[in-house]
Chain A
Amino acid sequence: MTDNTSAGPLTRCWRALWKPGTRYATGTLLIGGFIAGIIFWGGFNTAMEMTNKEKFCIGCHEMRDFVYKEYQDSVHYNNRTGVRATCPDCHVPKAWIHKVVRKIQASNEVLHKVLGSIATEEKFEAKRLELAKNVWRTMKETNSRECRNCHDYQSMDYMEQATRSSRSHQSGFDQGLTCIDCHKGIAHSLPKGFEDGKL
């Protein structure tokens, strides 16, 4: 056996972790661990939910002054039935594992917030196409998963849709298209040159 007294405090803690407990009862450790687990897990999810609110998103002027303003003109903000889709409804996956992956990717956004990459309207407009393409690509890869959290094409009643929508939806789904293939720029302004069909 190694001599504990000659080892450093960290080494001693590490070794104690892997020996059977002698000071505390197993029950204390179990119940204590259970409660600590609830607090840790609950805290983790609460913190994650906090970053999943519109108020958090528009806490930065980049979001509040540019994209949020455009979104306020859209049907997802203001509509007949009063059902709203806020930022995270479209931009953060609902499923836990995808959500955590997205949250980790968001560290890149924190970096660019610090760098001020889109801090002014000019800088943002210069990057709009690139940023839009990122979202379009992701949506395409996930078969518009975030759209389909609410819009399920199997539940669509084509008889109730306008002529134009009904026709386009049916032919679109027949071709295997996904929501974002047609519905670009529904919540935010389109990048310059989009209507020329070159993007």
Chain B
Amino acid sequence: MLRLELFKIFKRPRTYISFGIVAAIALVIELAMYADGKNFINFALQGINEQFDMRGNILNGYLITYIILQTLLVQIPLLVALVAGDAIAGEASMGTLRLLLTKPQSRSKVIIVKFVASLCYALLLLLWLAIVALGLSVLIFGAGDMINLKSDAMVIILKDDVLWRYVAAFAFAALAMATVAALALLLSCFADNSIGPIVGTMGIIIVLMIFSTLDLPIFSVIKQYLFTTHMVGWKGFFDDPVPYKAVGTSAMVLLVYTFLFLGASIVWFNKKDIQS
């Protein structure tokens, strides 16, 4: 059944639009850095250059990948929501849901398979991102020590110590995308049209991200419970030392949210009257 879901997803031409968007964004940033990267680095390091003598290939593939990942913070969840939000609602609007559910398959299985299929799609999208961002950037700009400029500090990660961090960061991002996919799937169960769940998922993520990033006392109590606060946990792998406890807590929160959303989807979908 999973094979059939993947077949349906990857037979649709619109599925590949996401891959095109990711490639386009990565390429635009890479081209911009290729053309004007030195000025960008000088501007970014202007305060530091006065006190330190920075040598070597600073504008390298690792740094550019980090910039691309920061840029795609909102876009990738949107692209995952496009598929997961369409999983049930899209079938309902096409009318194929009722045909699907007249087959001897349990509704819980239908939901789980659709979640796993959405997750496979998200993983492939991340893999594609790794190829066009990390692979291509390293190919064009070469490797080197990576500078991570934070608001209050600068972290320099040695060249040989970077790659595993990216592998870990992509694995963490996959977990975050699983949470997004589960949320989009839950909203998809409530709708008979895929626009609602897709826009709804993005709306929830954007609003919660605002709560997560605003440093206001009123939000400080709740932000630790919001999954959006923990979605950026992958950045922890570019600290030195890596805050494993914080990263582990974030991963756990995302996992709990994923199972909550998925469980709610199963319960709701099993009770739903299919009238579409």
Are A and B genuine complex partners?
A: no
Q: Which residue numbers of B lie inside 8 Å of A, CB to CB?
A: none
